[in-house]
């Protein structure tokens, strides 16, 4: 990585809270590229939050230099610096007496944006978060914990900040809400090309989200690499123990990406098609469900033969029986994050969409099963990608 590509750089950075104590972080040298999703992970007290909070000067730097976009943060006004860096914490930090709209627009108003610009940004963000626009006039207490945390993320993006710091933002949420928000943040980060530095103690969360993982212990960086490389080449016994035996054993097939085994010719139909056309496609392709896309190939949902049969003589269009709630995958996602759910569930396939929600393929249950078999037995016979034609 060249200096030009670094969004954040630590040069021999040390933090000592009390001169009589050991450093909280010691002589850290680290580069984080623009557009990276960097997870800082380690045991409690390893220095990960301390390191992150020196970026926006919430923690003063004892020794060394922290650069943001090539500028030494010590030479920057701390208030102005923080207004240009998004920050999300575990408790979301929303002002309870302010509406959701007012919470989101705190920083743009401090930066003296025009009302038209603020309104445009709010509408853009609420759509990205897939929250109803009427939520803008509600107060934080009227939203669920997961919804509040989405708003916290929106607030961190409201002033077009390119760098977002996130300090264990999902730690207090239930597993289902947490997983949904992980997908949401990963999607936003890719769509908007943000740099995210994310503190977590959850290894599964780090492996799922990170493009760069920084493993810390006792104030030092133990390993800095991609999740795949860390899984295949842990630096030492500490990293092996942190990863755990199960993850290391599963690394061979769980580091396969969705795009490597997806089928690229899913059976689909346009949202404007008639039910007669849908029934014909189902019959000819021998399927009982159809994925539904718009004219630009954006995935809109699916229809099933059972619902078609019930409504065939009452409605005319595919859009009238469309079901919009369905799980999706991305081509660059790792199977380690989703294989268990697919194999344990009753789904025969999962649609794969790009980061603009355009349908690019499907992953079938049988392809996953074949992948697991070949990993266990070392079999190379057959073509995994041809395991199931979705017909």
- Quick: pLDDT tens for 188-203: 888 888 999 999 999 9
Beta bridge partners of 86: 164
Q: Determine the Cα–Cα distance for residues 107 and 159; give it in Å rounded to an integer.
A: 6
The answer to whether the beta carbons of residues 156 and 88 sit under 8 Å apart is yes
Do residues 203 and 210 make contact, with C-beta atoms less than 8 angstroms apart? Answer: no
Q: Is 68 buried (19+), middle (13-18) or exposed (0-12) by CB count in 10 A?
A: buried
Q: Is residue 133 situated within a structural domain? A: no
If asked whether residues 195 and 321 sit together in one domain, one would say no
State the residue range of the domain holding 361: 258-386
Tens digits of pLDDT across the chain (391 residues): 444 568 999 999 999 988 767 889 999 999 999 999 999 999 888 999 999 999 999 999 999 999 999 999 999 999 999 989 999 887 767 888 999 999 999 999 988 999 999 999 999 888 888 888 989 999 989 988 888 888 988 988 888 889 999 999 887 788 888 888 888 898 888 888 899 999 999 998 998 899 999 999 999 999 999 998 898 889 999 999 999 887 887 765 556 778 888 888 889 999 999 888 988 888 888 888 889 999 999 999 998 888 777 766 677 788 888 888 888 888 887 776 676 666 666 677 889 998 788 999 988 877 777 766 655 454 444 443 444 444 4
Q: Are 7 and 197 in contact (CB under 8 A)?
A: no
Rounded Cα distance, 209 and 203, in Å: 10
Question: Is 95 part of a structural domain of the chain?
Answer: no
Of 231, 254, 277, the residue that ends a domain is 254
| Same domain (yes/no): 346, 228 | no
Same domain, 43 and 189: yes
Sorted by sequence, the CB contacts under 8 Å of residue 163 that are 6+ apart come out as 7, 8, 55, 68, 84, 85, 86, 194, 195, 197
Residues 324 and 339 in one domain: yes
DSSP string covering 148-197: HHHHHHHHHHTT--SEEEEESTTTTS-HHHHHHHHHHHHHHHHHHT-EEE
Shared-domain flag, residues 239 and 267: no
Strand 85-89 and strand 163-167: the pairing is parallel
Strands (E), 76-162: 85-89
Task: Determine the pLDDT at residue 81.
Answer: 92
pLDDT at res. 254 = 56
- Provide the pLDDT for residue 5: 67
At 317, phi and psi to the nearest 5?
A: -115, 155
Contact 243, 203 (CB under 8 A): yes
Question: Could you read off the pLDDT of 54-79 as tens digits, one per residue?
Answer: 999 999 999 999 999 999 999 999 99
Answer for the pair 323, 301: CB distance below 8 angstroms, yes or no.
yes
Q: How far apart are CA 373 and CA 378, in angstroms?
A: 8
Do 189 and 264 fall into the same domain?
Answer: no
**pLDDT at residue 25 in the model:** 93
CB 137 within 8 A of CB 151: no
Outline where 234-273 has alpha helix (H): 237-243, 245-254, 258-261
The residue out of 254, 283, 316 marking a domain boundary is 254
pLDDT number for residue 388: 44
* Contact between residue 233 and residue 224 where contact means Cβ atoms under 8 Å apart: no
Query: What is the pLDDT at residue 381?
Result: 43
70 and 191 inside one domain: yes
Closest C-alpha among 77, 82, 66 to residue 32: 66
Query: Nearest-CA neighbor of 335 among 373, 357, 363?
Result: 363
Spatial neighbors of 144 by CB under 8 A, at least 6 apart, are 177
Return the pLDDT at 354: 87
Domains: count for the chain: 2
367 CB-near residues (< 8 Å, 6+ apart): 261, 262, 263, 384, 385, 387, 388
The verdict on 318 and 227 lying in the same domain is no
The domain that holds 378 is classified in CATH as: 3.10.580.10
How many angstroms from the chain centroid is the CA of residue 85? 19
Output DSSP code: residue 277: H
Same domain, yes or no, for 230 and 334? no
Domain with residue 240: its CATH number is: 3.40.50.300
Q: Which residues contact 136 (CB under 8 A, 6 or more apart)?
A: 99, 100, 101, 104, 122, 126
Q: Are residues 288 and 206 in the same domain?
A: no
Q: What is the pLDDT of residue 246?
A: 78
Please state, in angstroms and rounded to a whole number, the distance separating the CA atoms of residues 63 and 57: 13
Alpha-carbon span 195 to 164, nearest angstrom: 6
pLDDT score at 70:
92
């Amino acid at each position: 990585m060249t200096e030009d590509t670094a969004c954040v750089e630590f040069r021999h950075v040390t933090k000592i809270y009390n001169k009589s104590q050991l450093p909280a972080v010691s002589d850290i040298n680290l580069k984080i590229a623009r557009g990276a999703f960097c997870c800082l992970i380690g045991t409690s007290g390893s220095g990960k939050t301390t390191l992150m909070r020196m970026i926006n000067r919430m923690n003063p730097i004892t020794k060394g230099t922290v650069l943001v976009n090539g500028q030494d943060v010590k030479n920057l006004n701390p208030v102005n610096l923080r207004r240009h860096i998004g920050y999300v914490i575990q408790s979301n930090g929303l002002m309870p007496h302010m509406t959701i709209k007012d919470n989101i627009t705190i920083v743009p108003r401090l930066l003296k944006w025009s009302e038209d610009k603020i309104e445009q940004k709010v509408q853009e963000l609420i759509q990205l978060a897939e929250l109803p626009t009427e939520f803008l006039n509600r107060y934080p207490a009227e939203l669920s914990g997961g919804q509040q945390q989405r708003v916290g993320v929106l607030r961190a993006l409201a002033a077009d900040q390119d760098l977002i710091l996130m300090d264990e933002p999902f730690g207090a949420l239930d597993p289902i809400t947490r997983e949904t928000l992980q997908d949401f943040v990963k999607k936003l980060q890719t769509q908007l090309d943000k740099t995210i530095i994310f503190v977590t103690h959850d290894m599964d969360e780090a492996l799922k989200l990170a493009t760069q993982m920084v493993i810390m212990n006792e104030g030092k960086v133990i390993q800095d690499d991609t999740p795949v490389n860390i899984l295949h080449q842990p630096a030492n016994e500490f990293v092996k123990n942190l990863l755990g035996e199960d993850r290391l054993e599963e690394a061979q097939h769980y580091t396969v990406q969705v795009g490597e085994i997806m089928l690229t010719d899913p059976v689909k139909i346009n949202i404007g098609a008639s039910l007669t056309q849908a029934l014909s496609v189902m019959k000819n392709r021998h399927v009982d469900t159809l994925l539904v896309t718009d004219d630009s190939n954006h995935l809109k949902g699916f229809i099933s033969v059972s619902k078609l049969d019930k409504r065939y003589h009452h409605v005319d269009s595919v859009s009238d029986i469309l079901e919009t709630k369905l799980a999706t995958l991305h081509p660059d996602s790792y199977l380690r994050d989703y294989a268990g759910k697919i194999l344990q569930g009753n789904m025969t396939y999962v649609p794969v969409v790009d980061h603009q929600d355009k349908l690019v393929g499907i992953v079938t249950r049988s392809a996953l099963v074949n992948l697991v078999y070949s990993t266990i037995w070392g079999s190379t016979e057959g073509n995994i990608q041809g395991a199931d034609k979705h017909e």
